[in-house]
Chain A
Amino acid sequence: MNTTTVSVRGGAFSTECIEAGSGSPLLLLHGWNGVIPDTMIEGLARTHRVIAPLIPGYGNSTGDEHLNDFVDLIYWGLDFMDAAGLKNVPIVAHSLGAMLAAELAAAQPDRISKLVLIAPFGLWNEQHPVVDFFVESPAGLAAAMYANPSSDAAQAAASVPQDDAGRVAFYYERAKSLRIAAKYLWPIPNRGLARRSHRISAPTLLVWGEQDRICPPALASDFQAAIKNTSIAIIPGAGHLPGAEQPQALLSVINGFLA
């Protein structure tokens, strides 16, 4: 696993990218929290060359100032695929990344071979609204994100440093990534995918953690109605981050679908 930098659109974007494995390429897009668990990258790298870019504004990826709205982000995605030489690839993606992946597959259907959308955003259902996670406290958010809020990972996510410098640094990092998420998801994570999703031709696997208290699993049927060729996998014992809570179960359904 190594970190590289990909120059996109003649250097307008310098995109931080994690790469691992060999073989046919696979594009891995992170979610709104900007985290990709190592176990996911390593697991997928057993069968693919994994390419996992960070969306501009996350981590060390630059060029966010060139992106004003979600349409701009879609074109960044297409430009990144050009720069990375990705022609006919599967995409595995989470939440915000899944919303982007669906748009890439609608814009250029011939270029995406398969889609794995984990807890995807992009459709709005008043009966099953995506939770407004922007307003949650770190503790409230951790409790909503994890199926098991008392796990070590959930507890770590819930804690805020007590000293002044640590607290300012914590809120700085939080503001930095959530600001980017807000640009594409505020105030409602719907940018019109339903008007374009008919173009998606890639076989699509919809994956939800059974206890996802951020992005309701009930949305799966809306995605199934919006995209032609879908199947659904529900991961027990996982919340909004199945890759963190149940990586083996998640890898198993993804590998089965991609094989």
Chain B
Amino acid sequence: MYQSPAERTVNCPLEPVADNKEGSHTKFEMFHLMPYRELPEDFDEKYRSVWVDIPSHLFKADRAHSMYNDTLDELEYGAAMGYDGICVNEHHQNAYGFMPSPNIMAAALARRTKDVALVVLGNSIALYNPPIRVAEEFAMLDCISGGRLVAGFPVGSSSDTNFGYGMNPATLRDRYYEAEDLIMKAWSNPDVFSFDGTYTQLRYVNIWPRPLQEPHPPIWIPGGGSIETWGWCVEKGYLYAYLSYSGFKRGKMVMDGFWNKAESLGSDMNPYQAGFLQLVAVGESEGEVQDRYGAHGEYFYNKMLHVYPGFSDAPGYRTLDTVKAGLLGQTTQFGQRPAALTFKDLREAGNIVAGTPDQVTEQLEQVIKDLRIGHMMVLNQFGSIPHDTAMHNIKLTTETVLPKLRHLWSDYEDKWWIKPMSAPQGPGPMYTPQLVAAK
């Protein structure tokens, strides 16, 4: 039954910290994939892929209604509990994360949150024709939110871009670089200009609105481990975020690759230029952790990542240098599909950081330091975690873990953070219509 929203006060465990040169702190951004939580038990035995050709009869719109609203509630709660940012992202034709338009989610969140960064991670810019659509929508979000947008520009997964949207894998990256060039010009060029690209031609580029943040919102690049992206991010001065579920070991390999490249290019090795995604589950006791989260972690790894290998890596999606470096996608290689993973396996491999507050704090501190990251994206809802459990996990994470980790990297300046307006306008009152009595 629909209930109009009531105001509710929460006790935010995290003191506001001024973010300037003297007071940068490690940021935590609550990430939500919004998975379809109710796939059948035998999904991975019966169907070949959670992406691209997943049968549509498994989708129930009335259940999606709840899942969308739960997701927005969870992100709003995370914001109120002191997460520095809340993250949404884009995927297509799948049950792994069904926000084809993260901008719609971000627009809803912009109206019911304040202060928190809206991290849209991001829009797959090569998919939009013309790509200035992204420049416009991101500028809208930045204006509506009073300068709280973080603009993410992913290439997009192969399943999304090459299969879901039919983009040619051989030219996708070239198209991506051209789209980035066009969007940045649209944001920074004060004059009407023409753009004669290989993939997009525009006689008049003159977007309205333009972003509120000057010169533009922070640019974050979510990478999947393509080695070319490392040097490109360093040279462009963009944040590199490695979004992987493959655990700490692969994360370390990829982030070392990024930092080695950064060092070779003379970077000042600022940890705030790097981000990493981690699944996190906090419980009061060992027993609670297993009982509350175990099955949901297994659901995530065994169902949400159940991607047919042929849809993982269209030929040309990864550059030949990346293939040569052996950095194939985890699900790329035929015949390499792993056996079903248990929650215990996933904890031991570091895929999921789960435990009591002290255990989780210790492990996350190690990840933050070893991977040299100033931005940690946290998945508190993953797999089939139901709404109540997700809220509990957000509460424990923000109350018992994050306060002990924010001080890290305080000797560096975060140059990849939002610059909101000092006195933004919030939403007006919610109107409740009452029927005028009949005369």
Contacts from A to B (Cβ < 8 Å): 68-69, 134-139, 160, 164, 167-168, 171-172, 174-176, 178-183, 186-187
**Chain A, Cβ-Cβ closest to B318:** A175
Asked if A134 and B310 sit within 8 Å, CB to CB, the answer is: yes
Q: What are 22 inter-chain pairs, A to B, with CB distance below 8 A?
A: A134-B310, A134-B314, A136-B310, A160-B335, A164-B326, A167-B333, A171-B323, A171-B332, A172-B324, A174-B315, A175-B315, A175-B318, A175-B323, A178-B316, A180-B170, A182-B168, A183-B170, A183-B171, A183-B316, A186-B169, A187-B166, A187-B168
A179–B308 alpha-carbon span in the complex (Å): 19
Asked if A186 and B335 sit within 8 Å, CB to CB, the answer is: no
Query: Taking each of A138, A178, A179, A183, which has the highest tally of chain B beta carbons within 10 Å of its own beta carbon?
Result: A179
**Chain B, Cβ-Cβ closest to A135:** B310
A175–B319 alpha-carbon span in the complex (Å): 9
Asked if A139 and B334 sit within 8 Å, CB to CB, the answer is: yes
* A179 vs chain B, min Cβ distance (A): 3
* A134 vs chain B, min Cβ distance (A): 6
Contact of B320 among A68, A138, A160, A176 (CB under 8 A): A176
**Chain A, Cβ-Cβ closest to B310:** A135
Q: Mark B154-166, 1 if CB is under 8 A from A, else 0.
A: 0000000011001
Q: How large is the interface on B (under 10, 10 to 19, 20 to 34, 35 or more residues)?
A: 20 to 34
Known: A164-B326, A172-B324. A182 touches B334 (CB 8 A): no
Question: Which residues of B lie under 8 Å from residue A136 when comparing CB positions?
Answer: 310
A182–B332 alpha-carbon span in the complex (Å): 17
Asked if B323 and A168 sit within 8 Å, CB to CB, the answer is: yes
Question: Which residues of A lie under 8 Å from residue B198 when comparing CB positions?
Answer: 68
- CB contacts under 8 Å to A, within B211-244, are none
A191–B2 alpha-carbon span in the complex (Å): 51
A137–B310 alpha-carbon span in the complex (Å): 7
Asked if A182 and B323 sit within 8 Å, CB to CB, the answer is: no
Asked if B168 and A183 sit within 8 Å, CB to CB, the answer is: yes
Question: Which residues of A lie under 8 Å from residue B301 when comparing CB positions?
Answer: none
Asked if B170 and A182 sit within 8 Å, CB to CB, the answer is: yes
Chain A CB within 8 A of B78 CB? no
A182–B316 alpha-carbon span in the complex (Å): 8
Asked if A186 and B328 sit within 8 Å, CB to CB, the answer is: no
* A100 vs chain B, min Cβ distance (A): 16
Asked if A187 and B316 sit within 8 Å, CB to CB, the answer is: no
**Chain B, Cβ-Cβ closest to A169:** B324
A186–B328 alpha-carbon span in the complex (Å): 21
Question: Which residues of A lie under 8 Å from residue B168 when comparing CB positions?
Answer: 182-183, 186-187
- CB contacts under 8 Å to A, within B267-324, are 308-311, 314-316, 318, 320, 323-324
Contact of B328 among A135, A137, A171 (CB under 8 A): A171
Asked if B310 and A186 sit within 8 Å, CB to CB, the answer is: no
Asked if A179 and B328 sit within 8 Å, CB to CB, the answer is: no
A181–B169 alpha-carbon span in the complex (Å): 10
Question: Which residues of A lie under 8 Å from residue B324 when comparing CB positions?
Answer: 168, 172
* A124 vs chain B, min Cβ distance (A): 13
* A225 vs chain B, min Cβ distance (A): 27
**Chain A, Cβ-Cβ closest to B336:** A167
- CB contacts under 8 Å to A, within B29-65, are none
